[in-house]
Structures are given as structure tokens and as C-alpha cells.
Structure 1
């Protein structure tokens, strides 16, 4: 009989030193764990004798032997040593560096199972953080006439996660740190190992567009040939900090951004010549200067070394100009699904005034403008607002107005100036909406609020605020923007009760 399953003491495979903590296990002790779930970081949640240990690489339904690495009073962390019972959803990751690289967390987890887990992850946050009621069965989409009454009686409909037919090679942007490795300090480029700033050298990434991989290979080769010194985080010395590649998936256009530790790019003419020769689709070479001691990729100064300031791409027939620092969703196919769902939830008839908070370069705004009376977009980054205006003009859209500034400042001012909104759409960063913006939404009383979220926990928190202010959450649809990672986007629609 398995003691962990029968409620007895977990199996101890080796002796261990005396404990220096309040938990039941000692460091390096081996225990048998039943894995009951996944954390938001993708770690297995293991249970033994009522105590929780988090285990990277373990999947729900598995029984594992794990070595305790770190203990706290209420939980601890352990390293997977051996699979005793394997989940039917376990995969053999196709990426050679998956176990080291921190770019993906779920390549060992069946894709359909990932989609189900992401839906449940959204539900768990809605119920635990938002204290919201979710219908047991997602059912069919409620008709517009049922909004509010049905939602109040039956709870929120959380639909299955919208996934991809082919969940590989989807990223149109790669931002990769540059560093040195080994005694000789050889230049390397790749994503960080999990939980560290140690760079795992990489030439091929299965979730990146092939053009981005080619950019990384060419930049590494050219940097070595030109003897460009990689940046050293410890000393603050060296030239090349990051390389960012952007690909227009529809147009095939490529932008290369070299992030440097200083304004001078040694051997700049040779850089330009070599990159142009090695990358046939290249349209833009940009330098960004970042001299700060920071983990933030970009500095404040950006200049074009060769070619255009922007590249172009298309989403659902809308053309976008994308500059080096523009926010543009990295998964074009799923962006169309995400924004299409937002437009569906807005339920536009062609006469509505719509406010798009956190509008970026106008992506959602222009999707909405095709069916709205007028769209007003606000974004804190001035360069993004200039891109949004350019994108509206590029597509002949004249019913969209954009203003730069914090949404929580601009929209309250609009309200004081007499602006009204039938629908407000928000697409905030991971920290969610500013409380001042939520308060303004409640004061403006639009008929609908459409919330596009990249963080289920802040989504749940903000939905609770809106519900307490008189709104009712009707539907939520998760969208898998980032297959093989733990991240999930969601679109929610609320109606005024």
C-alpha cells in the first residue's frame, strides 16, 4: 500500500539531517508525492501527509519521488527525481534545451490538456479572488436579451479556451539577452535558465517564427566576426545587451533592434552591410541605447541605423505600422481571435461611442471602428499614439480619435468635458486597471464593459470592483495566446444591471 495515498507517513527513501524549520521534511530528504494540480507558474502541486511541495516538471495525476530543496512553514519546493505513476497527458518535449530554458513551462504537457487547465485557471481566479459564481457547464453563449438576468441567476459562463490548430512557430517578436559564457567569455544569446540570469545559448526556438531564429543566428555570427563585446551584468561592461527581432508575418518584413550599452556601436557600417547580406527580408535596423543597471530591455534613446523606422503587418485585413518600441501582440492568429471576441462582446450596431483604454498602437480600436460610430483611444506611450494615428490613416479609418496620457487621467477628464460612452473596452497591463479608471467606468455607466486581460488574478480583482459597482459579468472566454507557456489571455463582457 502507498502510505501517501492511504493517509500514512510518506515514503522516506533516504536518511536526512536534522530539520532547521517548522515543516515536516528536511532539505535533501526524498519523499513520495501525489500531484494534484499545477501552480500559475506551471509547477506541480505535490501533497504528502497533508503538506504541499511544489515540483517543477510534475503533472496532475502523477505520483513522483522528489528531493526536498527548500522548506517554509506552510509549503516547500522539491526536485523531481523519478516518475512513479505517469500522467497520460505527459509529452516528450521536442525542444533540446527545454529542461534548462525558462522560455516555455509546459512542453511536457499535452496541448489539449493545457487548454483545459488554462480555462480552469481562469475559473479558479474568478471564484477565489473575485468571489464570483461560475456556471458548472459552460453551455452555449447567452443571447443579448438574456444578459444580466440569466447571468445573475446562473452565474458566469466561462467558455473553453480558444486554442491553435498548430501551436508552434507563432511568435512574431523575440527579445533575447546577450552575454558571455565560459572562461573565454564567448558571446552567447538565448533565454534565461529558469529562475536565474544565466543565458542558455540558443540557435532555434520552436515557438519563434523562423525569421526571428535566423536574425538571432546572424546577429551572433556578425558580433563574433566583428569582435563586439557582449554585455556583462556583473561589471556593467560590454557593448551588446539584447537583440530584438520583429517579423511581419503577412508581409515577411524584418526589423532588427540592437540594444547597446552606450551610444557608440563599434563598426557600424560593417554591421549594416553584414545584416543586409544575411537577412533578405530585412527592412529596418534600429539601435536602442540602454546604459542603466536594470533588467528592463529598452533605454530611452532609439535611432534608425538603416532602412525604415517601421515594418508593416496585417491583422484581419487591417494594416499596421510597427515601430521598434510599439506594443503589438506576438501571436497574430490568436490576436485575431482575441480581438474578434472583444468586438463580438461589444455588440456594436454602428452608432455607439466606444472608449478603448490602453489602446497601444490602435489594434483593438481599429477592429472596433469598423463597427462603431466612433472610437476614442488612450495610451500612456506617446510613440504608440502616433503609431495609432498613422495606422488609422493607413487604413482609411476616420472614426477613431487618439490621445496620449494615462487612461486613469485622460478618461476622467473626458467625462468632465461631457464625453459619454456606450461601451468601454480595457486591455490593461498585467497589474490590471488603475482604481481611478474603474471608478470612472462606474461613474460613466456604459451599457457594456469589455475587459481584455493577460492576468487572471487582476482580471478577477477588477471584475469584483465592477460588480460591486452595479455591473454583472456575463461571459469570459480564455484565449491561448502563448501555447506551451503558463500564460493565458481572457476576454470578459459585463453589462449594467
Structure 2
């Protein structure tokens, strides 16, 4: 018998009839029982449902949908046959207009919660005309089931792999490459890595594709340098994968859920494949970060450039610059752009990309933005008219935020993949003398609960 929690209005394994009132930022329905939130995946606001309580905590619990009594007008039938098991997508059961509304509301709610602001304009989310087959990179874990290699995505809230033959949000060329490589590994009886024992050979299959170039890179992430039948596997991939341009092995021997190890070897072909955004060309190395939706990346970067409102005399700092994609997008309209990124390989790619596009008014440095940017100012006298930040989900380092305030640029453009940390950081910048002018959400990841946004701040 599960231990009862007498202070809670619900108990584990209890069956309840509830009405869904809202959605979480991860797309789960929210029902309230005497004020206690119960999160129920695969439900939508307005739906009445029979729910089983599967987990309870002090402040909220989780429920499993047992039966829907009513159906929302926002509901659609998910086209993916494994949608209800796979954890890759969360919103296929919601129509596209409703998804875009939800993503805008995430930004609105975060601004209200963390800044107590309801007056900041948050525009309608920029969506896609075709919100399927958009991803240019697939990272697929492998496992063994009934003695056979399987490859797919992790089930919701678990490390159990759901075997996949076709993914509707992957680009067609990537999707096909994953299946071909999976079958080749089966043919040569390559043993999948086992998390529990630490044994086995293959950990992940990665496919990356240039949407306009048509070039495909395949990466095999292995649990050591040895790959049985390596020569035959490479030859088979060369013959059978459409558009193959590069075959890479990444070696990761650590007991970790981090995908990549530090060592990467080119088994065949080029070190780079090419992707294009607007008029710019980008060379993508095996582990370099690049946005996975090239169509929406162009929309995002155009909005960043609009909010930067550049003049030919402006100096721009691009913190968290990655492989220099935003820096190069802005360089055409600025006097000088300085980019900083902590990953050395990314900066090498950024410099290569500047040469590839014949752009000379950019300069890239390796290091932590919160350390390099103050040094630029103190040692080199660099002052920025515009600062652009595109940090990871945890948001900007507080030291960098304070440096930005001290540098006192005319404008700050903040690209974010996390509305909560965005709102937190906007609060700090607002207190430091900047007006938050407007927020533009962009649907970079249709069918999932994730949202990207761009915010313009102007010196008060």
C-alpha cells in the first residue's frame, strides 16, 4: 500500500473525474483538485476526463488519462503511430493555431510571473507553413531488445527506447539515413551499448543534413575506439545513404547520458557539410551547434537583425556566438561585430564561416562571455552600440548581465529558448536602465512544447 499523504486532496492510484483548465509549459493539461494542480499529458483545456493519480508531491501531482468524456475543438488525431509512447513530441494532438497560441502564452505568463508585467507587447508566434519534416539533425540512441538492435527516441520520462521506423519531424534525408545505418549495424551484428553494464559498442546514430546543399553527415557514437567491421560499415554507408558527404566516429567511454565524447575521427569524406541561411553559407563540423530548423532560423535571424536596428557605424557584441551564425548575419549592416563562445571548436568554425562568406569585419574569441566581454572593454577599450545574446536554457550569467548594463549600449537583443530565464534576465536588465520594448515568439520546434523568442531592449 502506498503511503498516504493526509495533507493532500488526492492520493496515488486514486481515480478522479476532472476538468482540464490550463496547459503547462511542457504541454501537459492542468486540472485542479481543491486547488491542488494535477498534470495530465495528452489532455487539452476544457476537456473533462477520468484520470488516475500516478504520482503526488507537496505542491503538485501527475495523472494518467484513462478516458476522455469530452473532446476539445483544438484536438486533432496525431499522425505519428508512436506519438503516445515517444517523448520526442508533446503537442501533436493539438492543432497548429492552438500550438502557436500556447507558445505566445508561455512568454506572456513568464513576464507576468517573474516581472509582474502585463504591458510588454508579445506578438503572435511566427509559425511555419509546413510544420513537419523540418529538423536537419537527428540524434538517435540505440539499445537491444530480444537480441536485436533497435533505434528510436526515449519514451516519456524514461530511458526506455521506443523503436522508430519513421519520424515525422525529421527531414526526409536524415530520416532515411538513420534507418539505413540502423539496418547496416544490424547486418554486421554490432552490439548496442547497455547503460547498466557499460558494455556494448554503438551508443547513438547521428545524421545531419544541409537542406540546400543536400550533403549528409553520419556520425556513429561508440563506446570505445574499436568498431567491428569498420571498413565494411563505412563502405555500406557510402553506397546506401543518399547524399553522403562525411562519415564520422565519435568516441564516448563515460557512463553518462551526455551524447558525445571528446574524441572525433573522420572515417571517410569531409570534416564539414554545408548549410545555408539566407545568403550565408555555413560549414558544420560534427559537434558544432546549429539551429535544427533552417526555415525558422532565417525568420529568427531576420527578427534579431530588425530589433538590432543597425547603423553602418555600430559596433556589435554577440555573446554566446556559437559558430558565428548571428554575428555574420549582422556583419553586413554593422561596422564591426565581436563574437565570443566558450567552445573552442565552435570558434574555429566561426572563423572558417567568416572566410567562407568573405566577411572581414568580424572577430571571434574563445572564452566565457562573462569574462571575455569585460576584458574587451577594460583592456581593448571596446564599447558596444548593440549587444546580442543567445544563451543556453539557463539564461545569461549574472556577471555578464551586469557588464552589459555597465557598457550601456543603445540596444540589447535577447534571443531565448526558455521563457522563464528570459523573464528573469529581463527583470535585471530593466532594473539596470533598459526598457523592454517587444517580444517576438518564433515556433522553431513545431509539434513540441518548446518556443524560441527574440526581445528588444532599448536604453532608457
TM range (shorter): over 0.9
What is the CA-CA distance between 1:219 and the residue it aligns to? 1.1
Q: Is 1:207 matched with 2:169?
A: yes
* In the alignment, structure 1 residue 492 sits paired with structure 2 residue 455: yes
**Helix, strand or coil at the partner of 2:233:** helix
Measure how far apart 1:456 and its partner are: 0.4
For the Cα contact (< 8 Å) 2:143–2:194, is it kept in 1?
A: yes
1:433 partnered with 2:433: no
Give runs of aligned pairs for residues 390-469 of structure 1, distance below 5 A: 390-417=352-379, 418-469=381-432
> Which residue of 73, 76, 79 corresponds with 2:58?
73
1:368 deviates by 0.3
Equivalent-residue separation in structure 1 for 2:157 and 2:231 (angstroms): 38
Distance 1:20 1:387, change over 3 A: same
Aligned length: 459
Structure 2 residue 73 is matched with structure 1 residue 88: yes
State the structure with more CA Rg. 1
Asked whether the equivalents of residues 21 and 73 of structure 1 are also in contact (C-alpha less than 8 Å), the reply is: no
CA distance change for structure 1 residues 371 and 53 in 2, over 3 Å: closer, same or farther?
same
Alignment counterpart, residue 356 of structure 1, candidates 318, 331, 354: 318
* Correspondence for 1:125 among 104, 110, 131: 110
Change (3 A) 1:435 1:50: closer
User: How far has the Cα of 1:84 moved from its partner?
Assistant: 1.3
Which residue number in structure 2 is paired with residue 305 of structure 1?
A: 267
Give the corresponding residue for 1:40.
25
Query: Equivalences for 1:26-425 in 2 at 5 Å?
Result: 26-131=11-116, 133-134=117-118, 155-182=119-146, 184=147, 186-417=148-379, 418-425=381-388
Q: Quick check: 22-31 or 235-244, which moved more?
A: 22-31
C-alpha separation between the residues in 1 aligned to 2:254 and 2:6? 39
Contact 1:19/1:25 (8 A) holds in 2: no
In the alignment, the residues of structure 2 paired with residue 395 and residue 18 of structure 1 have an alpha-carbon distance, to the nearest angstrom, of 64
Matched-pair contact (CA < 8 Å) for 1:34–1:48: no
Contact 1:55–1:78 under 8 Å retained in 2: yes
Q: Tell me the equivalent position of 1:149.
A: none
Q: Is the 8 A contact 1:288 1:302 kept in 2?
A: yes
Q: Hey, what's the Cα distance between the residues in 1 that align with 2:35 and 2:415?
A: 37
Instruction: Give distance in 2, aligned partners of 1:124 and 1:20.
Output: 31
* Deviations 1:33-82 (CA, angstroms, capped at 9, x unpaired): 11111112211001233332111111011111111112223322111111
Once the two structures are superposed, residues 276-313 of structure 1 have per-residue CA deviations (whole angstroms, 9 ceiling, x without a partner) of 01013000001100000101000000110100000001
Runs (4+) off by over 4 Å: none
Any stretches of 5+ residues in structure 2 without a counterpart?
Answer: none
Structure 1, unmatched stretches of 5+, are 1-15, 135-154
Aligned-partner Cα distance in 1 for 2:216–2:366: 28
* TM-score of the superposed pair, with normalisation by structure 2: 0.98
Task: Classify the secondary structure of the residue corresponding to 2:376.
Answer: helix
Match in the other structure for 1:140 = none
State whether residues 390 and 416 of structure 2, in contact with CA within 8 Å, keep that contact through their aligned partners in structure 1: yes
| TM-score (normalised: structure 1) | 0.91
The offset of 1:433, in angstroms, is 0.4
Contact 2:9 2:33 in 1 (8 A): no
Pair 356,17 (structure 1): closer, same or farther in 2 beyond 3 Å: closer
